[in-house]
Amino acid sequence: MNKPKAASKPITVRKIIAENRKARFNFEILDTLEAGIVLQGTEVKSLRRNQSNIAESYASFERGEFWLINSYIPEYLQANRFNHEPRRHRKLLISKREMSRLAQSVDREGMTVVPLKLYFNDQGRAKLEIAVARGKKLHDKRETEKQRDWNREKSRLLRDRG
């Protein structure tokens, strides 16, 4: 008899363009969210060449909308005079409900919205993974580093044992 096949989950293909690796070290990530981003044509072409940096960027609530500030997308050389400004403010596309929830959490003490990853989803659209985060103190960073070192040592011991 033929067994019915289990329904397979659709595979989400993400082409990661830029990642903020320091964010998880400097901040305690409380909640994540996928947001669209408004880009110009030359910015998309530059992103397809994997040339961008979101390490020093952040999201801010201004004029009733969320904006990505200080992200770097270099100019596309073949665009000539139609190029974009590399560090311009870029609008984030978030639903009103999510926007109000994020704005309320930012108003609390020590909370901020930090970009984690910039990527193309399976439909070819540029998306930004953002997180509501709280800044870590120095002793928290030391604890994170200690935990990371212990996990690395533990995996070495288990690998060597067999």
65-122 pLDDT tens trace: 889 899 888 888 887 787 888 888 989 999 999 888 888 888 877 788 899 999 988 8
Average pLDDT value for the chain: 84
Residue 2 is assigned to a structural domain of this protein? no
Residue 153 is assigned to a structural domain of this protein? yes
Question: Do residues 121 and 11 touch, judged by C-beta distance below 8 A?
Answer: no
Residue 5 is assigned to a structural domain of this protein? no
Longest dimension (CA), the chain: 67
Residue 3 is assigned to a structural domain of this protein? no
Residue 94 is assigned to a structural domain of this protein? yes
Asked if residue 48 has pLDDT above 80, the reply is yes
Residue 133 is assigned to a structural domain of this protein? yes
Question: What CATH code is carried by the domain that includes residue 19?
Answer: 2.40.280.10
- The whole-angstrom separation of Cα 67 and Cα 135 is 20
Number of domains in the chain: 1
Structure token digits, residue 1: 């008899």
Q: Which CA distances in Å does 109 have to 5, 71, 113, 125?
A: 51, 24, 13, 34
Residue 1 is assigned to a structural domain of this protein? no
Residue 123: which domain range?
Answer: 15-161
Residue 106 is assigned to a structural domain of this protein? yes
Among 35, 111, 123, which Cα is nearest to 71's?
A: 35
pTM: 0.75
- The whole-angstrom separation of Cα 34 and Cα 130 is 6
* % of the chain residues with pLDDT over 90: 10
